[in-house]
């Protein structure tokens, strides 16, 4: 599967810098964030495409007030989304700038009108946010566009995850990536359950990854070691900018460290390979092999006293020791000579 020019089978882990609300209502901040994401090694920058009116109702009734210990307690939903949204009139410039500097760009649509709007930019993928995984109509309409579907599973039941996958496949879209996600901001480490990354891939027959809301960089590194092919992390130019998502976002320095750590993890994981490379062949000189431990005369019997398994590894494999013991030498053999089959009377 490819996202833009990135091949998930060959190119490692696709790292997404989530801008979200971290432009803080300033277009230049948004452009600078895209540039910084490129500089720190992200493979893509991701936007969110909605308005307060496409997400909720402008109401102060209790149902619409945010509570429960979140970063946004006391606001109503409309106020939060009004503050956090990325103005639609910015999108053309943001997409153009990202492509100009060579970083992939796509977005999370939150309703059908957002999908229709984004289609003009031919995004490389669509991301379904964790709180939208129950919006089956949105998933179906988005999947019908034929672009890779990245779906966060944060609030979903197993049945809802299966439904989302089935809907994409019903639309003929098999490019599906499920992200393990804990929909808490910030997310506690003991609720991350990263072991599910591998299970998501196996259980649903998809590519799996991780959408991270924990603090710090430990979780993405562990996710990469567990096979996450996509990692998404909130990114901000500088936390002093402030904004709704600043507290659980990484700044340039921390994001760069995360990218390096993930890339180092990929190198450490390597690939399944039992072949003996030239480097490993050279290292085998320090392994054990069979050597003459005492001078041996022609016709003398090989014993545990006159041949031994020792370093270096230029002689016969130690596995032949038992087979050789009791046989006779066909010639004189000097101490510290590497043993060879031609030295042995095998009759």
Query: What domains appear along the chain, each with residue ranges and CATH number?
Result: 2-50+85-269 (3.20.20.70), 278-345 (3.90.1210.10)
Two structure tokens written together for 145? 């566009």
Q: How many residues does the chain have?
A: 347
pLDDT at 68 over 80: no
pLDDT in tens, 137-188: 999 999 999 999 999 998 999 999 999 999 999 999 999 999 999 877 788 8
Q: How far apart are CA 26 and CA 28, in angstroms?
A: 6
Contacts of 35 (CB under 8 A, 6+ apart): 97, 101
State the Cα–Cα distance between residues 79 and 155, nearest whole angstrom. 23
Phi first, then psi: give them for residue 339, nearest 5 degrees: -75, 145
pLDDT above 90 covers what percent of the chain?
85
pLDDT score of 74 more than 90: no
Q: Can you give the pLDDT at residue 279?
A: 84
pLDDT of res. 139 = 98
- What's the pLDDT band for 315 if we cut at 50, 70, 90? very high
Angle between helices 136-143 and 158-170 (to 10 degrees): 30
Q: What is the pLDDT of residue 220?
A: 96
pLDDT at 186: 85
* pLDDT, position 54: 95
pLDDT band for position 78 (cuts 50, 70, 90):
very high
Distance separating alpha carbons of residues 247 and 225, to the nearest angstrom:
26
Residue 81's CB is within 10 A of a number of other CB atoms, namely 22
Can you tell me the distance from the alpha carbon of 16 to that of 262, in angstroms, rounded to the nearest whole number? 12
Query: Is pLDDT above 90 for 328?
Result: yes
Q: pLDDT, tens digit, for every residue of 80-115?
A: 899 899 999 999 999 999 999 999 999 999 999 999
* DSSP state at residue 250: B
Q: Which two tokens stand for residue 206?
A: 């998809």
Please say whether the beta carbons of 52 and 113 come within 8 A. Answer: no
pLDDT digit string, tens, across residues 222-241: 999 999 999 999 999 988 88
Residue 78: Cβ-neighbour burial (10 angstroms; 0-12, 13-18, 19+): middle
CA distance 69 to 184: 10
Instruction: Tell me: pLDDT of 199 over 80.
Output: yes
Average pLDDT, the chain: 95
Q: What is the pLDDT of residues 212-226, one digit of tens each?
A: 999 999 999 999 999
Q: What is the pLDDT of residue 272?
A: 87
DSSP collapsed to 3 states, 55-106: HCCCCCCHHHECCCCCCCCCCEHHHHHHHHCCCHHHHHHHHHHHHHHCCEEE
Is residue 71 pLDDT above 90, yes or no?
Answer: no
pLDDT of residue 47: 98
| pLDDT tens column, 246-285 | 888 999 999 999 999 999 999 999 988 888 888 888 888 9
């Amino acid at each position: 599967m490819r996202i833009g020019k990135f091949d998930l089978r060959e190119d490692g882990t696709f790292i997404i810098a989530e801008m979200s609300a971290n432009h803080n209502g300033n277009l230049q901040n948004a452009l600078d964030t895209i540039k910084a994401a490129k500089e720190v090694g992200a493979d893509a920058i991701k936007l969110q495409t909605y308005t307060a009116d496409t997400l909720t109702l402008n109401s102060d009734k209790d149902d619409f007030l945010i509570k429960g210990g979140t970063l946004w307690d006391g606001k109503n939903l409309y106020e939060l989304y009004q503050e956090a949204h990325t103005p639609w009139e910015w999108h053309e410039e943001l997409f153009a700038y990202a492509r100009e500097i060579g970083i992939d760009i796509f977005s999370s649509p939150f309703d059908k009108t957002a999908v229709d709007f984004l289609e003009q930019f031919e995004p490389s993928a669509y991301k379904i946010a964790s709180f939208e995984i129950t919006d089956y109509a949105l998933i179906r309409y988005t999947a019908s566009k034929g672009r890779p579907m990245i779906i966060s599973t944060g609030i979903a039941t197993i049945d809802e995850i299966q439904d989302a996958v089935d809907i994409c496949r019903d639309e003929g879209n098999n490019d599906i990536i499920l992200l393990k996600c804990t929909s808490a901001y910030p997310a506690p480490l003991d609720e991350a359950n990263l072991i599910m990354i591998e299970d998501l891939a196996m259980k649903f027959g998809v590519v799996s990854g991780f959408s991270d809301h924990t603090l710090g960089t430990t979780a993405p590194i562990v996710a990469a070691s567990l096979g996450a092919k996509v990692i998404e992390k909130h990114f901000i130019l500088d936390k002093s900018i402030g904004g709704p998502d600043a507290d659980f976002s990484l700044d340039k320095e921390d994001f760069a460290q995360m990218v390096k750590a993930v890339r180092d993890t990929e190198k450490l994981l390597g690939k399944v390979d039992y072949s003996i490379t030239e480097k490993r062949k050279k290292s085998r000189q320090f392994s054990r092999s069979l050597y003459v431990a005492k001078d041996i005369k022609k016709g003398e019997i090989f014993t545990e006293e006159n041949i031994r398994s020792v370093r270096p590894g230029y002689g016969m494999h130690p596995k032949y020791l038992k087979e050789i013991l009791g046989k006779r030498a066909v010639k004189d053999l000097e101490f510290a000579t590497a043993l060879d089959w031609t030295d042995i009377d095998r009759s």
